[in-house]
Structure 1
Amino acid sequence: MTIPIIITLCGLLLIAYVFDLTSSLTKIPSVLLLLLLGWIVRQVSQLMKINIPDLTGLLPFLGTIGLILIVLEGALELDFDKSKKIIIVKSFFVALIPILLLSFLLAFLFQYFENISYKLSLTNAIPFCIISSSVAISSVKNLTTSNREFVVYESSLSDILGVLFFNYIALNSVINLQSAGAFTVQLLIIALISFFATLALSYLLSKIEHNIKFVPIILLLILIYAISEIYHLPALIFILLFGLFLGNLDQLKQFKWIQMLRPRELNKEVHKFKELIVEITFLIRALFFLLFGYLIKRSDILNAETLIWAITIVALVFLFRAILLKLFKLPLSPLLFIAPRGLVNVLLFLAIIPSQNISFVNTSLVIQVIILTALIMMIGLMFTKNPVTITIKNEQITETVAE
């Protein structure tokens, strides 16, 4: 039985790799193909009467590890030099404002139709208001540099800000000045932990001479994250700061204490570390969406009761997005279409304790929102002009041509 499982997993992951390779050509988001592939595996296993144990418990585990790695990968990509100041500021507000406005509006609608407390409605609304960097970043490889950078900044910040907002609302029974003060203290504590832990891990990364050096660093990252979560600290802040520190060593060379870490040698190790993180992230992300697709039932996709809510949520997402892009003088095409939902949204939905669940905020609604936003992104990217670089007499000229 072991060998068939190994063969199946390797085959599925290789197919997932092909999806990732061809997504820039087909314009089909790999998340859609992975969900479909997982669903087909379920149908085949049922048809062949293969007994597969309940895998539901693996989803939060893969989601948590995936979230850590995705935020770390995004943070390592963020370049905070002075030339990026404008795009960073714009991406921060374009990430933050929709989370707040859409969350409060959806919470009002949920409260109106379900007659429940506003806080409970807000807890259920937030998971739909966050852009999934795991889907967005992997789907914009062929865009212009400026658009691609904006998507990386915005989606990474959306993940982090959204999770922080969700944790604050979900973990506090009462939202008042006292809870806000406690949350501020938690932020200060995790910032302090992040500072010392980042220095310690960076020092280890620069000093370890053993053949195995990156896996212990990753395990320590996950361990610190997990312990911080036990004490309800915003642990993603630590992952973000660690990634930003390693990804921006060149901007920190002016500080004398940085020289203790041997920044030139450390930069080489960071490059290797980043490559490893990208590959592991792909593996975990593929497994997550394959498993999620496997767990999807046909009735979840075709649920007419939640479809109207899914369409309403998606319409509001793109309405707010269009307004903000116009407000911040950013191009509507293709940025308007790149607001997918994915791993982080599923993970936050699963994090809502049963006693706080709203009847119609269920798996069907989450799946429908993910599929609709992915389809809109796919259609938008299909009609987007791709940059083509032409070399003439040793000079690079970048042109934009329609496909």
Structure 2
Amino acid sequence: MEIFSSYNLIIGASIIVVLSFWFNGISKKTNIPSVLMLIVLGIILQYVLKYFIADLPNFDGALELLGIVGLIMIVLEAALELELKKSKIIPILKAMAIALIGLIGSAYVAALILHYFIPNMSMQSAWLYATPLSILSSAIIIPSVSGLSAQKKEFHIYESTFSDIMGIMMFYFLIGGLNPAEDSGVAGFAGNIALTIGIALIASYAIILIFQRIKSQAKQFLLIAVLLLLYAIGKKMHLSSLIIILIFGLVIANVKLFFPGKTKIFLESEKIHQIYHELHIITLETAFVVRTFFFVIFGITIVLSSLFNLTVVFVSLLIIASIYLIRFLILKIFFGKDILPQLFIAPRGLITVLLFYAIPKEAQVATFESGILLFVIIATSLVMTWAMIKDKRKMNTPLDEIDEEMRERNEAEDMLHEKQNELDQSPETNKDPTNNATEEDNQILDK
């Protein structure tokens, strides 16, 4: 076991982080998800470790812990980027509706496929196995859509975030149905969500008001520790804990909305802005590290031989086909013709793996091949990669460059007209007509 000595682990972990950072750079240039590269790195490490030691240690505990922390960081990261405005109500509701319909529709069809083709798979267990396979991966989508237009990027951030949250809630609702003594039905589930939202709002207000008064510079990890504590306690109380994280992120990212009117006197704006800025950076960094080690360890645990099983390939292809067919119908209804590349941006990832390992023993089916999970994750990621590369090439045509140049010129002219109107309305400017245009304005128009 000399290979797992303290210094070897430090060297290995450091190299993995450096490689992950490099993978991110490659991903931005090629649109190949860094997650795929991390999984491949894990598979390579699996064979390297097997060369030195006969039996690999059990990584299930590490995967579960990293998955939970990564899930919290990803949802918090997404919530911190969601700006709530009246103008965004329709896009948010549309993304939520698409995420919910896509989740339920994909889970239903995948459950039917698993129930029919996997021996000894009851419909109840099939729903539990199908739900993780129906959840979009915000861990893959959010870093991958930065090159899209602002409107499409915003849609994918909303949709993947809602898919994560609603998928997890649906999964644990289904688990509750396994035990009739604990199952409280739809009414109890709705009450649970309402209670969680109430606790989340109270906790969010309390955290903001307390932390803005803490003078210590080292308080961001204290804040993260408090959020992790709230999440874990919420889980122990059978609450939908992820809602606590989501609401806190929304509150601190939109304090003006949640502290209206005279309640703003309780806020110290500069300190709140500083907390938000520092928390955003630490959340990004932590999510990056946790995501890195999660997918590398997942790659180490993969059994590649399962990918060559004919049943695995057939069932996986059926599930993948159903994912894109359902997505095509939903996007066609909501967006009409403009559904590319959104149609193909539907990867599965971290939450799919995390929830798979969270399936209770009483619902587990021995005949289910974990290769289906891996096949769907890899295939949907590759499809997204192909769609993003194709869309990027389309965006770089000469006509698009001309359109972009015209758009920038129009924006410059709009800025100049707005400034001109302000000058016209100013009493001081009206006294001297020669002040209507400045040298700076002329430079803007020249550009």
Question: Which consecutive residues of structure 1, in runs of 5 or more, have no partner in the other structure?
Answer: 398-403
1:401 alignment counterpart:
none
1:223 alignment counterpart:
229
Q: Select which of 121, 126, 135 maps to 2:140.
A: 135
CA contact (8 A) 1:16 1:34 kept: yes
1:274 alignment counterpart:
280
Residue 6 (str. 1) matches residue 10 (str. 2): yes
Residue 153 (str. 1) matches residue 158 (str. 2): yes
* Residues 204 and 303 (structure 1), Cα distance of their counterparts in 2 relative to 1, 3 Å cut: farther
Q: Select which of 94, 101, 108 maps to 1:97.
A: 101
Structure of larger gyration radius: 2
SS of equivalent to 1:79: coil
Residue 294 (str. 1) matches residue 300 (str. 2): yes
* Residues 314 and 393 (structure 1), Cα distance of their counterparts in 2 relative to 1, 3 Å cut: closer
> In 2, Cα distance between the equivalents of 1:33 and 1:381?
16
Q: Deviations along 1:2-30, whole A, 9 cap, x unmatched?
A: 22221111011110011112202112111
Matched to 2:113, the amino acid is L
CA contact (8 A) 2:73 2:287 kept: yes
**Structure 1 residue 263 displacement after superposition:** 3.4
> In 1, Cα distance between the equivalents of 2:307 and 2:37?
15
Residue 46 (str. 1) matches residue 50 (str. 2): yes
Q: Deviations along 1:210-247, whole A, 9 cap, x unmatched?
A: 02111111011011101111121110111111111111
> In 1, Cα distance between the equivalents of 2:341 and 2:160?
14
> In 1, Cα distance between the equivalents of 2:324 and 2:371?
20
Residue 64 (str. 1) matches residue 68 (str. 2): yes
SS of equivalent to 1:268: helix
SS of equivalent to 1:63: helix
**Structure 1 residue 111 displacement after superposition:** 2.9
> In 1, Cα distance between the equivalents of 2:413 and 2:131?
45
Deviates more, 1:323-332 or 1:104-113: 104-113
> In 1, Cα distance between the equivalents of 2:115 and 2:294?
32
Q: Deviations along 1:155-174, whole A, 9 cap, x unmatched?
A: 00000000001111112236
Q: Select which of 96, 113, 116 maps to 1:109.
A: 113
CA contact (8 A) 2:74 2:287 kept: yes
SS of equivalent to 1:85: helix
2:20 alignment counterpart:
16
Residue 171 (str. 1) matches residue 176 (str. 2): yes
The structure in which a higher percent of residues are helix is 2
SS of equivalent to 1:332: coil
Deviates more, 1:224-233 or 1:350-359: 350-359
1:233 alignment counterpart:
239
**Structure 1 residue 379 displacement after superposition:** 0.6
SS of equivalent to 1:146: helix
* Residues 396 and 366 (structure 1), Cα distance of their counterparts in 2 relative to 1, 3 Å cut: farther
* Residues 393 and 89 (structure 1), Cα distance of their counterparts in 2 relative to 1, 3 Å cut: closer
Residue 33 (str. 1) matches residue 40 (str. 2): no
SS of equivalent to 1:211: coil
**Structure 1 residue 178 displacement after superposition:** 4.3
SS of equivalent to 2:341: helix
**Structure 1 residue 295 displacement after superposition:** 1.1
Q: Deviations along 1:293-330, whole A, 9 cap, x unmatched?
A: 11112213333321111111111111111111111016
CA contact (8 A) 1:300 1:367 kept: no
Q: Select which of 281, 304, 313 maps to 1:307.
A: 313
Matched to 1:395, the amino acid is A
2:128 alignment counterpart:
123
> In 2, Cα distance between the equivalents of 1:284 and 1:104?
31
CA contact (8 A) 2:109 2:322 kept: no
Matched to 1:362, the amino acid is E
* Residues 310 and 258 (structure 1), Cα distance of their counterparts in 2 relative to 1, 3 Å cut: farther
1:400 alignment counterpart:
none
> In 2, Cα distance between the equivalents of 1:97 and 1:285?
27
* Residues 64 and 276 (structure 1), Cα distance of their counterparts in 2 relative to 1, 3 Å cut: same
* Residues 111 and 48 (structure 1), Cα distance of their counterparts in 2 relative to 1, 3 Å cut: closer
Q: Select which of 202, 205, 209 maps to 2:211.
A: 205
**Structure 1 residue 204 displacement after superposition:** 2.6
> In 2, Cα distance between the equivalents of 1:232 and 1:284?
25
2:431 alignment counterpart:
none
* Residues 32 and 188 (structure 1), Cα distance of their counterparts in 2 relative to 1, 3 Å cut: same
Q: What TM-score do the two structures reach when normalised by structure 2?
A: 0.84
CA contact (8 A) 1:124 1:361 kept: no
* Residues 177 and 220 (structure 1), Cα distance of their counterparts in 2 relative to 1, 3 Å cut: closer
1:323 alignment counterpart:
329
Residue 367 (str. 1) matches residue 374 (str. 2): yes
Q: Deviations along 1:28-80, whole A, 9 cap, x unmatched?
A: 11111000001111112222448753322210110011001101111111111
Deviates more, 1:117-126 or 1:337-346: 117-126
Aligned CA-pair RMSD? 2.3
Matched to 1:77, the amino acid is E
**Structure 1 residue 134 displacement after superposition:** 0.4
Q: Select which of 284, 287, 298 maps to 2:290.
A: 284
Q: Select which of 345, 353, 365 maps to 1:358.
A: 365
* Residues 142 and 50 (structure 1), Cα distance of their counterparts in 2 relative to 1, 3 Å cut: farther
CA contact (8 A) 2:67 2:351 kept: yes
